């Protein structure tokens, strides 16, 4: 993490850690959805014992989340975890923090200094008046100081806030102050869709400024949604390679000849199931669709009772409306296997002409909203009137 490594996605289990099978099932689901690292609570002795059984069977590194009881950090280290998260707001005794640092150093296990505006060290809260960016960064620096006393510097830091502008300011200040890898997140972001919007607003803003090495969406939702969202965000920002589907679709308008929302939902469900790592466009009309989506790997545009299947903007097949999704799926599979050039060469003879005929027909019926020339002629005519 850090030092040029790809930005990683984290999520956290919601199971009781003592429930080893339940927790492992969720860890596997999170890894499959895109999580590179999974955090698990270690809030009592049974949880620490559970970790000893979970860690060796996990497909991804496990980080133990520690609050209040430093002994549980020592127990989690003994259980074999690959990382610790310590909350400086509620493990406050320097000798306890140093004891954890010594043990983690011996075992070469990193520690995340996880500052949270909602559980900020009460002395700092008093000193700064509220959970300001300066107060959050001061909390992180205080903790780093204790760790440094033991020569420990395998550190990641987070300064999470539930208020997006404060979160962004806190991380900006932190990144100017230290050079450790940063874990980004908007804490307690809430349920969908608001939680998603807050998380994206904060995390994406920072990532685009080059700040952040690992991210977590803290959603009040199935954690699988967190992992998926995190992974998708990194792919959309070109910070990770595409591993899954990127479906783009027009928002639909009065020109649409089909129910674009239903068509996009059906296409998304089937393409996601097929696990094809491509960008697919679903467009509501054949007049503007293929042109507007020419950057997509493949797409379908709906006409009157027909669908135009296109690859990089070139129509390769014209199919009946009720075959659109199946045809798209079939062609998408072939595209991934054979490549765009081969599939464009295998286009149906006459597909482009049939598509052009459909477009003309539709324009005759609906009128050409983009007919700039005739509009300009009318504009000139009006302007030239005496």
Q: Which is nearer to ligand SF4, 136 or 301 (CB)?
A: 301
Taking the complex as a whole, the smallest distance from the CB of residue 284 to ligand SF4 amounts, in Å, to 3
Taking the complex as a whole, the smallest distance from the CB of residue 314 to ligand SF4 amounts, in Å, to 17
Taking the complex as a whole, the smallest distance from the CB of residue 33 to ligand SF4 amounts, in Å, to 30
What Cα–Cα distance (Å) separates residue 180 from each residue in 74, 266, 267, 279, 289? 23, 44, 43, 35, 46
Taking the complex as a whole, the smallest distance from the CB of residue 258 to ligand SF4 amounts, in Å, to 9
Q: Which is nearer to ligand SF4, 41 or 252 (CB)?
A: 252
**Do β-strands 298-302 and 8-12 pair in parallel, antiparallel, or remain unpaired?**
unpaired
Q: Which is nearer to ligand SF4, 292 or 323 (CB)?
A: 292
Taking the complex as a whole, the smallest distance from the CB of residue 304 to ligand SF4 amounts, in Å, to 12
- What lies within 8 Å, CB to CB, of 43 at 6+ separation is 17, 65, 67, 72
Taking the complex as a whole, the smallest distance from the CB of residue 289 to ligand SF4 amounts, in Å, to 4
Q: Which is nearer to ligand SF4, 133 or 284 (CB)?
A: 284
Provide the β-strand partners of residue 10.
37, 216
Q: Which is nearer to ligand SF4, 193 or 251 (CB)?
A: 251
Strand order in the sheet with 37-41: 155-160, 111-116, 83-86, 62-66, 37-41, 8-12, 214-216, 183-184
Q: Which is nearer to ligand SF4, 64 or 264 (CB)?
A: 264
Contact 144, 157 (CB under 8 A): yes
Interacting residues toward ligand SF4 by CB under 6 A? 250-253, 255-256, 283-285, 288-289, 292
- The count of other CB atoms within 10 Å of the CB of residue 379 is 11
Helix 70-79 × helix 94-107 angle, to 10°: 10
């Amino acid at each position: 993490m850090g030092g040029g490594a790809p930005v990683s996605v984290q999520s956290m289990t919601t199971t009781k850690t003592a429930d080893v099978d339940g927790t492992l099932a969720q860890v596997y689901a999170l890894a499959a959805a895109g999580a590179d690292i999974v955090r698990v609570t270690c809030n009592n002795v049974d949880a620490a014992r559970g970790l000893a059984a979970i860690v060796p069977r996990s497909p991804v590194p496990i980080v133990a989340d520690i609050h209040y009881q430093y002994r549980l950090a020592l127990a989690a280290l003994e259980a074999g975890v690959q990382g610790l998260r310590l909350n400086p707001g509620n493990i406050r005794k320097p000798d306890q923090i140093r004891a954890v640092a010594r043990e983690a150093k011996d075992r070469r296990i990193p520690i995340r200094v996880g500052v949270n505006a909602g559980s900020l060290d009460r002395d700092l809260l008093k000193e700064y008046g509220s959970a300001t960016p300066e107060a959050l960064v001061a909390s992180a620096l205080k903790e780093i100081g204790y760790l440094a006393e033991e020569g420990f510097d395998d550190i990641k830091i987070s300064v999470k806030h539930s208020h997006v502008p404060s979160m962004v300011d806190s991380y900006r200040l932190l990144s100017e102050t230290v050079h450790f890898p940063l874990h980004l997140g908007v804490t307690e972001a809430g349920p969908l869709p608001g939680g998603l919007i807050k998380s994206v607003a904060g995390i994406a803003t920072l990532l685009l400024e080059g700040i952040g090495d690992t991210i977590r969406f803290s959603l009040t939702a199935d954690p699988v949604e967190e992992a998926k969202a995190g992974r998708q965000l990194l792919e959309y920002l070109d910070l990770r390679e595409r591993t899954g589907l990127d479906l783009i679709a027009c928002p639909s308008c009065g020109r649409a000849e089909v129910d674009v929302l239903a068509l996009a939902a059906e296409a998304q469900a089937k393409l996601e199931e097929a696990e094809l790592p491509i960008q697919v466009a679903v467009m509501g009309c054949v007049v503007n669709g293929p042109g507007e989506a020419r950057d997509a790997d493949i797409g379908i545009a709906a006409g009157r009772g027909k669908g135009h299947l296109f690859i990089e903007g070139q129509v390769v097949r014209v199919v009946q409306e009720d075959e659109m999704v199946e045809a798209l799926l079939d062609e998408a599979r072939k595209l991934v296997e054979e490549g765009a050039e081969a599939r464009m060469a295998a286009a149906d003879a006459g597909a482009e002409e049939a598509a052009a005929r459909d477009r003309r027909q539709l324009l005759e019926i609906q009128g050409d909203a983009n007919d700039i020339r005739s509009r300009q002629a009318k504009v000139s005519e009006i302007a030239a009137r005496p």
